[in-house]
Chain A
Amino acid sequence: MLQGWVIAVTSFAYLGLLFAIAYYADKRADAGRSLIANPYIYALSLAVYATAWTFYGSVGRAASDGVGFLPIYIGPTLMIALWWLVMRKILRISKENRITSLADFIASRYGKSALLGGVVTVIAVVGILPYISLQLKAVSNSFTIVLQYPEIVMPAKVGAIPILQDTALWAALILALFTILFGTRHLYSAEHHEGMVAAIAFESLVKLLAFLAVGVFVTFGIYDGFGDVFSRAASDGALRPLLTPLEGLAGGYASWVWLTVLSMLAIMFLPRQFQVTVIENTDERHLNKAIWLFPLYMLAINVFVLPIAFGGRLHFPDGTVDADTFVLTLPMAEKQEWLALLVFIGGLSAATGMVIVETIALSTMVCNDLVMPVLLRLRSLRLNERADLTGLLLGIRRGSILLILLLGFLYFRLAGEAYALVSIGLISFAAVAQFAPAALGGIFWKDGTRRGALSGLLAGFAVWSYTLLLPALARSGWLPIGLLEHGPFGIALLKPLQLFGLSGLDQITHAMLWSMLANLGAYVLVSLLDSPSAEEHRQASLFVDVFKRSGDAPARFWRGTASATDLYNVLARFLGAEAADDTFRGYARRKGVPWPEQPLSADAEFVQHVETQLAGAIGAASARIMVASAVKEEALTLEEVRKILDEASQVVMYSHRLEQKSRELEAASAELRAANERLKELDRLKDDFVSTVSHELRTPLTSIRAFAEILLANPDVELTQRKQFVGIIVKETARLTRLINQVLDLAKLESGSAEWHVTRLDMRELVGDVLSGMSQVFTEKGIQVAAHLPDHVAPVSADLDRVIQVLLNLLSNAVKFCEPAQGRIEVTLVDTADWVRVEVRDNGSGIAAADQQFIFEKFRQAGDTLTGKPQGTGLGLPISRQIVEHLGGRLWVESHPGAGACFSFTLPALRQATPAALAAAT
């Protein structure tokens, strides 16, 4: 049933479908209705991380050491948690500088160095070759195996097959053709390949579904759920150690940790991950969803790895079936041919997705950062004079895609058999991890220099080659195996797998340790000893401070003379006339110049704009060379760059200061407003006071005048009546005098101009004197008075006359509100620790709670002032309170209506001062 032609037709139909999706997405993008501009497609496209390694290799790894496959997915999850800080910054930098690849990113950061870009490209290509060969191996193996259905036969050794009959060669060629059709149909502006991204997202879905299908089939079809698989494994002597696998893991926990670190770096710096995460990103905000969706994808695709691995080992106990093929061979052994075909397609998805994105990313790097800078420098080619270079650029890219895949195939023939899938992939991971110090250091550390980055990369790459690439070639028989066993020239200290005698670690841990040490050490050391050039200084500042700068106009870093026509020609040569027109028109519109009727002035901003546009097509380093050749420019010195940067940061500082000043100003004006409100309130109170006083004065005046007029008009009034009238006049005059005295007194107290004669007073004596002075009044009204005076009371410091005034006031108030003949007044003296308190309690009508609030206000009296006759001036209590408070005490009232009132005031007690207190006082 699964004849060769069925498989071949299905494979090509699937590739055709991918192409159709890509074509449709490209059309949509051209129409301005992007298919990929949503976070879900973005997250799925990130899942290009899961390759044939994940699809076939994880099971192979799990079958041999249990959990060893998991750090490859847990590491990225941990790294992605940091993406909020790291990846957002890389995204912003890349957008502002129109970065086209990882090599471009690093080259651009260190002064647009073409050399650095070239080195990164070479490391990336060499480092990724094993990874590409892994995909070819997976595709060709799975094809060979599924072709034998229903037999389960492992593929023959590679060396045994003539090269032209090797399916891997055909796979490489078909994939090259497919990738060329996909990624280099035309030159993309800013390297957005929307069609490719849509196809990759689709492939991510297919491989996930295929893997879940086979996982469900094995777990619930062949076995009876997770518990069944694991309990059978537990009863198998050979598998039991895999259930507590960490001791058995080669290198134990150290290996686990290093694998985690390695994959944390790989998720950032694999060229294809950089491509889909950074270059193909259409909107920074898509990152927010991807931050949890992508780890979720990795979790989902790993859930069934262990059941399949254990299922495979239980199913093929004799070890004749390679564990890397369990995903495929288990359905085949159960005669599930359609499932086997689905698995084959899933594996194909995983492999093709990786190969397409990886080779596109690498070919961009090879073209922009390796070939073009060299070609542009070769004057004999006269590239500068050619009218249109877009054809050349596409040619270089297509050629490099084919070359990379053929090199991958070559590696597969040379070294592919010696290792399992996962081990091959890890060699590539270790290679791209070498980019981490230069790239991460580049965005957080301004002092990293070009020479530092270059030294670090070269040192790390050298150690990687020696400890990982060399052993791989030696084990495949291309170099003498003695090199591994005895070291070069028999020097045991230089053995590639136990460098400097370090043993006991697995190969990857060992290589990572030494290469990272060399890389990071060289990067930091050389950077610290080096002094950066002007260009490096400026780029470092643009990268590290990207969030501080964005939004404002960029600092101008260019001086010289240029003509817009020259710049137009440069753009047209690389992007085509149409794109050059678009660029110019867009810029002119922003500046409000009617281009092309009116020429654009080629100032610094415009030159930089053109250079950034050009960098979007051919990379920063090449763009720098081209623009420099088209304009006359004067080199800026380091000092000048520093000055420009300082000016830019000063502007930011000034604006911060301005903001602060305006905030202070606002606060001050708010205070002024509040003060004004208070003044107005006081003014209103004063008016009220004046009108109340006038009113109070008019009442007695009116009655005095009325009686005086009566006496004037009627001289013959009887003597008794005349006496009565004159008596009233005298009484009202006295009241008037008292009122005026009190108003004056209050005014004096309030303004603080009253005279105070503070002396040492004995309150016992004072209360006794006042009570005996008033005894006449009490007797007249028939009021009983009781005084509760303790034997000893602490002296107070106060003004004698004023305290008497307060006490008289309180007592006469009490007399006023007591019923005659039934009244009872109690005066109590209390000595608390710090105060001497005087209480005057009566059994009068009491004061309502609402009235207690304002009886201490001027001219306010308790009770109904309209009907009840006034019983005083309404100034006594306010004056008393002023006095007590001036003397440092308090005056308050406690009362319930119908139960009398108790007025109390306190005065600070004079204690016998202790020596310590005296010392403190002086």
Chain B
Amino acid sequence: MGETERTGPRMTALCMLGCVLFNFPILALFNVPGTLFGVPLLYAYLFLAWALLIALMAWVVERRE
């Protein structure tokens, strides 16, 4: 029950984290030439950060019970 009550604040925090990760100025750090495993840095960052956010959301929402 306590876990369920804390899911709301945790998800809100994740939303805020996402808003920071996918915004200026963090994005500008990666908007530079360079590659990660052959993928341009910005694209690699966007997809990895996105995947991380989804994983965190899954973790928060599934560990309630």
Contacts and interface: CB of A to CB of B under 8 A. Distances in A.
Contact of B35 (A71, A230, A253): A230
Nearest to B55: A292
B61 A67 contact: no
Contacts of B61: 84, 288, 291-292
A782 interface: no
B62 A299 contact: no
A303 B47 contact: yes
Looking at chain B's contact residues, the main secondary structure is: helix
Interface in B1-36: 7-8, 11-12, 14-15, 18-19, 22-24, 27-28, 31-33, 35
Contacts of B37: 226-227
A256 interface: yes
A227 B11 contact: no
A77 B54 contact: yes
Given A81-B14, A299-B50, A253 B38 contact: no
B31 A244 contact: yes
Contacts of B51: 299
Nearest to B57: A292
A334 B23 CA distance: 39
A84 B11 contact: yes
A244 B58 contact: no
Contact of A230 (B22, B28, B32, B40): B40
A744 interface: no
A211 to B, nearest CB: 16
B38 A85 contact: no
Given A67-B46, A292-B61, A85 B8 contact: yes
Nearest to B58: A292
A853 to B, nearest CB: 43
Given A67-B43, A246-B42, A81 B31 contact: no
Contact of A81 (B18, B23, B62): B18
A253 B40 contact: no
Contacts of B58: 291-292
A74 B45 CA distance: 13
Interface in A18-33: none
A231 B33 CA distance: 12
Contact of B33 (A84, A244, A253, A257): A244
A306 B22 contact: no
Contacts of A85: 8, 11-12
B18 A77 contact: yes
A77 B50 contact: yes
Interface in A64-97: 67, 70-71, 74, 77-85
A50 B62 CA distance: 25
B38 A225 contact: yes
A253 B40 CA distance: 19
Given A78-B15, A82-B15, A246-B31, A260 B42 contact: no
Contact of A247 (B7, B31, B53): B31
A306 B42 CA distance: 12
A295 B39 contact: no
Interface string A206-236: 0000000000000000000111101100100
Contacts of B55: 292
A226 B19 contact: no
Nearest to A297: B54
Contact of A227 (B18, B23, B28, B39): B39
B25 to A, nearest CB: 9
B54 to A, nearest CB: 5
Interface of B: 7-8, 11-12, 14-15, 18-19, 22-24, 27-28, 31-33, 35, 37-40, 42-43, 46-47, 50-51, 53-55, 57-58, 61-62, 64
27 contacts: A67-B42, A67-B43, A74-B46, A78-B22, A80-B57, A81-B12, A81-B18, A81-B53, A82-B11, A226-B37, A226-B39, A227-B35, A230-B43, A244-B31, A244-B33, A244-B40, A244-B42, A245-B31, A246-B27, A246-B31, A253-B23, A256-B23, A256-B24, A256-B27, A292-B58, A295-B54, A306-B43
Nearest 4 A/B pairs, CB to CB: A227-B38, A292-B58, A81-B15, A253-B24
Given A243-B40, A244-B42, 7 more contacts: A79-B15, A81-B12, A85-B11, A230-B39, A246-B28, A253-B27, A288-B62
